[in-house]
Amino acid sequence: MKRLSLTILSAMAFFAIGFTVYFQLTSPYSNNINRVEAAGEGDVFDSATVSFGAWITSPAVDRFPNNNPRTANHHALTPRMVSIKAGGTVNFIVGGFHHVLVYDNRTPPSDINTNLLIAPTAGGLPPLLINDPNNRIYRGFDPSLQPQDRVEVVQFDNPGTYLVICGFLPHFQEGMYGFVRVLPNNDN
């Protein structure tokens, strides 16, 4: 039995590491703002919705009556990039222990100083929230003070390519970030 659980554990670890590497190597967006900007536009609307973390279903998850199982959370922005018109909004639908941070036009993920950290206000956690104010244009709620399922709506006046990261350090280090492309609004 012990050997079996060890095998399962190492398989899980292998999968987690493999997935992280795969994601970083294959993401068209990793650190390359030019490629984000060059991506196809499709239909662009005034608002977009981004799932900011999610609860997995495979294996099955039971949150009843009031559970936030830490190991059952998907650490990603879905989709990883959205485009909206200038003046529009992005609805970040948060699912899990996540911290929404938005950085100004053309900030690459590599610019984020992960040595600047603060502790969540509640819960006695160590300083694991990224606190780099340089080019930061929106900092969301401290997740330690909020329900894990919530919405934060952010508005963008100016065209540009904005980096959105999860400020919870372990998630950012796993690649939990994405981009909002704000295109000129020709409707005005």
User: Which stretches of the chain bind Cu ion, using CB under 5 A?
Assistant: 98, 166, 168, 171, 176
Cα 86 to the center of its chain, rounded Å: 21
Find the shortest distance in angstroms from Cβ 168 to Cu ion: 4
User: Which residue, 88 or 102, is less far from Cu ion as judged by CB?
Assistant: 102
How far apart CA 54 and CA 19 sit, in angstroms, is: 17
Count of positions (residues) in the chain: 188
If one counts every other C-beta atom within 10 angstroms of the C-beta of residue 106, the result is 15
85 vs 136 by CB, closer to Cu ion: 136
Our CA angle for 49, 54, 58, nearest 5°, is: 135
Cβ-based nearer residue to Cu ion, 147 or 184? 147
Considering the complex, what minimum distance in angstroms separates the CB of residue 145 from Cu ion? Answer: 15
Name the residue nearer to Cu ion (CB basis): 162 or 168: 168
Instruction: Provide the minimum distance between the beta carbon of 159 and Cu ion in the complex, in angstroms, as a whole number.
Output: 27
Cβ contact 138:173 at 8 Å: no
CB closer to Cu ion, 48 vs 164: 164
CA 41/CA 140 separation, integer angstroms:
27
Helix (H) or strand (E) holding 73: strand 73-78
Residue 114: CB atoms within 10 Å: 13
Distance in Å, CB of 80 to Cu ion, minimum: 14
Q: Which two tokens mark 144?
A: 């330690």
In the complex, minimum distance from the CB of residue 135 to Cu ion, in angstroms, rounded to a whole number:
20
SS3 178: strand
